[in-house]
Structure 1
Amino acid sequence: MSDATPTATGNRLAGVRERLSGMGPSWVVGAVAAGPATIASLVTAGAAFDYALLWVVVLSAAAGTVAQYLAMRLGLLTERGIVAVVEARLGERWAWLLVADVVVAAGAAQVVILNTLAAVTATITGVGAGVCGVAWAVVLAVGLAGRGYGFLELGAKLLVAGVVVSFVSSLFVVPVDAGRALDGLVPTLPAGSAVLAAGILGGAVHVTLVTMHSYTMRARGWTASEYDLATFDVVASMLVAFGVYSVAVFLVAAGVLTDPNLTTVGAAKALGPLVGPGAEWLFLLGLGGAAVSTLGGNTVAPPFLLADKLGWGTTVEDGRYRALLAGFALLSAPGAFIGGEVLGQLVLVLALGTVGTPFALALVLYLLNSPAVPEPTPTLANVGGVAIFLVSGALAANFVRGQVAGGLRPLSGAVLAFAVLVAAATLGLVAKYAREEVTTGA
């Protein structure tokens, strides 16, 4: 009896170590979520509304975890990329629409995030932002196209871990009011905070994150037999790592920042005079790491889906996929010359991605509850997925209304046209599912 307990404990520890070493695909997704656009929303929310939106930050990590669990389940149980499953079940037009959804959202994010990374690198090194941005684009192209998925996954693990450590370390040099922080866990929406709450949630539940997961698992070689490991991977990366990162960034901003108009880089600079240079440098390093990790994951998403639609391989062993990967990385280089206020740009691309997210979620839920998946989806997972779908739909509608209210210009007109297209497709998919349920029931 006394010998069995240590053995059992040792086996459990060995199992945990095996799972920790085996993690990976969801960390690539988490690296995209933990990006500068999310930081921009968290910083602005904390500076503008103190601790009041802490509950939204916690909720975003939980929502992101549910969304990734659903995407993981679809990828593992079909053992195919999401585009191939959509085409087989719904047809080519639906597959192309999904590809276009991701290319638009990820492409817009790519150039703006590179602009942010160039600004951070220029601040740290003193080298011009244009030079820094072009250099990063080349590093992305060479690293991803030359080294492939293994390079991406290793970088995601290291960078996300480093980003979490940087921002958590900031909490040791930034005063946090624990009592007011606890009050912030009580759901409330102060006047004018709805858009920021949408931005925080949108950073965790995004069309790019939902669609790329099946491909990261395929690149790793996972099948349905890795279901438990894949679930652990999702919880560890999204609920734990992303959740801790989000809460830490928010608490730093809520603790000392009071100017909601700060840029992401400006927030780091503002910490120096307030609480010392240590906090400034930790925040800058965390912001830079977040931008690098996000660019790596965001770069692979459109090539994954496009290659799958064209029937190509989705690894660098296929030269066509490798060329797509390098080309998308290099196309981000012009982002270094955008200039201007990155905070507004980041919020815009995050909101643009939110417009396309309900369609991707609807596809995942439809496929999970169709003959394409051999096992029924748990009721609780379906309920959570529908709740996230409804919330993301409301956020998208609010964003589009705001764009229209500001007057139709070329950019807002393009956003509106894109929103109408994906909204019509989403409603059509919901109606199709309802008809099939009625027919089956009859």
Structure 2
Amino acid sequence: MSQQTTDLTAVSRGTVREYVDEMGPSWVAGAIAAGPATMASLITAGAGFGYSLLWVVVLSAVAGTVAQYLAMRLGLLSGDGIVSVVESNLGESWAWVLVADVVVAAGVAQLVIMKTVATVSATMTGVDARMWGVAWAVILLVGLAGRGYRLLEWAAKLLVAAVVVAFVASSLVVRVDAGAAVGGLVPTLPSGSALVAAGILGGAVHITLVTMHSYTMQARGWTESDYGLATFDVVASMLVAFGVYSVAIFLVAASVLTDPGLTTVGAAQALGPVAGESARWLFLLGLGGAAVSTLGGNTVVPPFVVADKLGWGTTVEDGRYRALLAAFALLSAPGAFVGGEVLGQLVLVLALGTVGTPFAIGVVLYLLNSEAVSRPNSTLANVAGVGILLVSGTLAANFVREQVAGGVGSLSGAVLAFAVVLGVALVALAGKFVREEAFAA
């Protein structure tokens, strides 16, 4: 049987009931994808351009599924964490570049996500957001460093499912123009919509999601024999759950919101007078669940890659990893004290993550076509992977161009430098692959 046939029929092995009971690792990635940064992009798109960008929302779920499928293949077929695989097959310098890429993108994101969680908590309870920031940092410390991955996976599945239900309920409460929504499935980019379209896609195809997947599968003890289950896990979490989440939020925003400058919290507040208090509270509860699930999932990513690079274990059974996890959880607390408008900061977070994503996708594709895996990629998987690489590269270029267009200051300069380093690394990696293929031929 060909590799392509194996890929297409992997989910046929085993029963759906068994797969639903056992799925999990990709839901942690889905919990990060279904977060406040993605929500901000969806709200901006729907409020600013109506239903016209629905096709981008659907495309983002498909693209995110492909990216996670490739990451899943690398983790299962190599049997190791992505940093270790990079170091073994490309060398230590390449591994350090990948670690730096992940830590910068996830570290900056952690602060802004914490600010969002604290702001939502304050809106719902009336308690100061800074106090919530400290409280959530302690909850992360006790929960993740104390209980480890299985608690995170359980919470991710519960919260993502609850968030999807909340936003689907919101979309049922508001009045959706079905005809206009169908028209939005026709690809078109209204004037001024390119950046927000890039933000929607960037939320689904992100470096943190790609790099963490091999470690979450290791934590579950999955091997190549679990290929069918792992494939089902990716499809259920990214294509179905994340896809429904994205479409529901977008439809709510496109149906009743008209201010593209609304924040995520502001959108929930605005739903009260235009769609009723039930829609407002459903949306606010969904936002809170999404922010919390993203915060928990993002917390484990830097400790995973740093511990792997240093040769430590990547579970709480290793005290050094546990200490890393605890430190990163506590370091997220200052996010609640950061000033400024969270929407703009979420866009910056998405920009940094998107800039770092093409290199990660390139690394995964290189390794999936090398001796690092027991079964190289099929033609179909390679074509899909190159498509995702081109999409993520275009998004990165758009974000960098936007930053630089406003003048190269300290912030835009840092984004530009980050992009240049990773761009050079990606070109060098492509050149290395081409030379090796030419030599082999």
- State the TM-score, normalized to the length of structure 1: 0.96
Per the alignment, residue 113 of structure 1 pairs with 113
Q: For 1:13 and 1:382, how far apart are their aligned partners in 2?
A: 23
Q: For 1:372 and 1:63, how far apart are their aligned partners in 2?
A: 24
Q: Is the 8 A contact 2:14 2:228 kept in 1?
A: no
Per the alignment, residue 297 of structure 2 pairs with 297
Query: Secondary structure of 1:31's partner?
Result: helix
Matches of residues 2-401 of structure 1 in structure 2 within 5 Å? 15-401=15-401
Equivalent AA in structure 1 for residue 180 of structure 2: R
Give, in angstroms, the shift of residue 14 of structure 1.
Answer: 8.4
Give, in angstroms, the shift of residue 376 of structure 1.
Answer: 2.1
Give, in angstroms, the shift of residue 402 of structure 1.
Answer: 1.6
Per the alignment, residue 8 of structure 1 pairs with none
Per the alignment, residue 5 of structure 1 pairs with none
Deviations 1:137-194, CA, capped at 9 Å, x for gaps:
1101110000000100000000000000000000121110000000000000000000
Q: For 2:196 and 2:345, how far apart are their aligned partners in 1?
A: 14
Give, in angstroms, the shift of residue 353 of structure 1.
Answer: 0.4
Per the alignment, residue 427 of structure 1 pairs with 427
Q: Is the 8 A contact 2:68 2:234 kept in 1?
A: yes
Per the alignment, residue 6 of structure 2 pairs with none
Give, in angstroms, the shift of residue 323 of structure 1.
Answer: 0.5
Q: For 1:395 and 1:34, how far apart are their aligned partners in 2?
A: 19
Which stretch shows the higher mean deviation, 331-340 or 100-109? 331-340
Q: Is the 8 A contact 2:72 2:214 kept in 1?
A: yes
Give, in angstroms, the shift of residue 126 of structure 1.
Answer: 0.4
5+ unaligned residues in a row in structure 1: which ranges?
Answer: 1-11
Q: For 2:172 and 2:183, how far apart are their aligned partners in 1?
A: 21
Equivalent AA in structure 2 for residue 138 of structure 1: V
Q: For 2:296 and 2:131, how far apart are their aligned partners in 1?
A: 19
Query: Secondary structure of 2:293's partner?
Result: helix
Q: For 1:189 and 1:401, how far apart are their aligned partners in 2?
A: 18
Q: For 1:241 and 1:132, how far apart are their aligned partners in 2?
A: 28
Give, in angstroms, the shift of residue 414 of structure 1.
Answer: 1.0
Q: For 2:136 and 2:26, how far apart are their aligned partners in 1?
A: 24
Q: 1:178–1:269: structure 2 CA closer, same or farther, 3 Å change rule? A: same
5+ unaligned residues in a row in structure 2: which ranges?
Answer: 1-11
After the TM superposition, which segments of 4 or more aligned residues of structure 1 sit over 6 Å from their partners?
none
Per the alignment, residue 403 of structure 2 pairs with 403
Q: Is the 8 A contact 2:365 2:385 kept in 1?
A: yes
Give, in angstroms, the shift of residue 389 of structure 1.
Answer: 0.2
Equivalent AA in structure 2 for residue 109 of structure 1: A
Query: Secondary structure of 2:80's partner?
Result: coil
Give, in angstroms, the shift of residue 13 of structure 1.
Answer: 12
Give, in angstroms, the shift of residue 399 of structure 1.
Answer: 1.2
Which stretch shows the higher mean deviation, 208-217 or 371-380? 371-380
Equivalent AA in structure 2 for residue 206 of structure 1: H
Q: Is the 8 A contact 1:23 1:230 kept in 2?
A: yes
Give, in angstroms, the shift of residue 374 of structure 1.
Answer: 1.4
Equivalent AA in structure 2 for residue 118 of structure 1: A
Give, in angstroms, the shift of residue 364 of structure 1.
Answer: 0.1
Per the alignment, residue 9 of structure 2 pairs with none
Per the alignment, residue 4 of structure 2 pairs with none
Aligned residues: 430
Give, in angstroms, the shift of residue 109 of structure 1.
Answer: 0.5
Deviations 1:298-335, CA, capped at 9 Å, x for gaps:
00000000000000000000000000001001101000
Q: For 1:269 and 1:51, how far apart are their aligned partners in 2?
A: 21
Q: Is the 8 A contact 1:208 1:301 kept in 2?
A: yes
Q: Is the 8 A contact 2:13 2:228 kept in 1?
A: no
Q: Is the 8 A contact 1:145 1:316 kept in 2?
A: yes
Q: Is the 8 A contact 1:115 1:339 kept in 2?
A: no
Q: For 1:410 and 1:295, how far apart are their aligned partners in 2?
A: 27
Equivalent AA in structure 2 for residue 314 of structure 1: T
Q: For 1:362 and 1:19, how far apart are their aligned partners in 2?
A: 30
Q: Is the 8 A contact 1:53 1:185 kept in 2?
A: yes
Deviations 1:245-302, CA, capped at 9 Å, x for gaps:
0000000000000000001000000000001000000000000000000011100000
Q: For 1:169 and 1:300, how far apart are their aligned partners in 2?
A: 31
Q: 1:13–1:303: structure 2 CA closer, same or farther, 3 Å change rule? A: closer
Per the alignment, residue 8 of structure 2 pairs with none
Deviations 1:49-78, CA, capped at 9 Å, x for gaps:
000000000000000000000000000001
Q: For 1:263 and 1:188, how far apart are their aligned partners in 2?
A: 25
- State the TM-score, normalized to the length of structure 2: 0.97
Deviations 1:221-244, CA, capped at 9 Å, x for gaps:
000000000000000000000000
Give, in angstroms, the shift of residue 429 of structure 1.
Answer: 0.2
Give, in angstroms, the shift of residue 107 of structure 1.
Answer: 0.4
Q: For 2:24 and 2:339, how far apart are their aligned partners in 1?
A: 34
Query: Secondary structure of 1:340's partner?
Result: coil
Query: Secondary structure of 1:381's partner?
Result: helix
Per the alignment, residue 9 of structure 1 pairs with none
Equivalent AA in structure 2 for residue 364 of structure 1: V
Equivalent AA in structure 2 for residue 42 of structure 1: L
Give, in angstroms, the shift of residue 340 of structure 1.
Answer: 2.0
Equivalent AA in structure 1 for residue 66 of structure 2: V
Equivalent AA in structure 1 for residue 89 of structure 2: R
Q: For 2:375 and 2:16, how far apart are their aligned partners in 1?
A: 27
Query: Secondary structure of 1:172's partner?
Result: helix
Query: Secondary structure of 1:121's partner?
Result: helix
Provide the aligned C-alpha RMSD in A.
1.0
Q: For 2:58 and 2:156, how far apart are their aligned partners in 1?
A: 22
